[in-house]
Amino acid sequence: SIAMASLLSCSVLAASAQEREVLFEDNFDGSKKSSWTEFWGDWDFGGADNGLSVATTAGKTLPKIITGLNQDWQHYEIEVDLEGVSNGGVIFRSNNPVTGFDGFDGYYVGYDSKYAFFGIDQNGWKTINKGGALAGATRELKYKESMHWKIVVQGDTFTAYVDDMNTPFVQVQDGTYAQGGVGVRFHVLAGDTSGSVKNL
């Protein structure tokens, strides 16, 4: 769930030292499909496993983006399950997703079956290389069939937890974007499957 610090069943929670408010939850059974806007790709809600995945197009490499409509969230946590995802992750503080293009003006935490990392899209993509006080900006993360992620978005510090919800896995600091929506991104090669995200 998303509380002032969590999102996607994904859930999103508002981050607050005193109180946690659920801002949004989705288990991707299709009942909340209207809460999302598809910017690129052929998205599949539900199916037999109630997950969010994408279809591929032969001969193409397609990044896939879907972004929540709420654009004014500032401090929150996102929790989500990833199953069979080899290259993908979560978008947050997105301000201007572009239809038909892999651009979202915000941040991204993802992995490529080798490393977990944070990046920023600001008229172009770059990896954020400056690590926070609790963890480095990039860390080895080999492919796992199933993972639970928590991303804490607080001020200019972003912390990702993988399976272990007590020890930061990767952390960065950046002050470019102060607020914005949440999304999911896959990078899928032709002939591959995207895997799915669940329980945001």
Q: So what's the pLDDT on residue 196?
A: 92
pLDDT of 47 reads 65
SS3 label, residue 38: strand
User: What pLDDT sits at residue 8?
Assistant: 39
- State the pLDDT at residue 11: 61
**3-class SS at 34?**
helix
Predicted confidence (pLDDT) at residue 100 exceeds the cutoff of 60? yes
Q: Which of 10-14, 17-21, 32-36, 187-191 has the lowest mean pLDDT?
A: 10-14
- Residue 51 vs residue 81, higher pLDDT: 81
Q: Is 170 in a helix, a strand, or coil?
A: strand
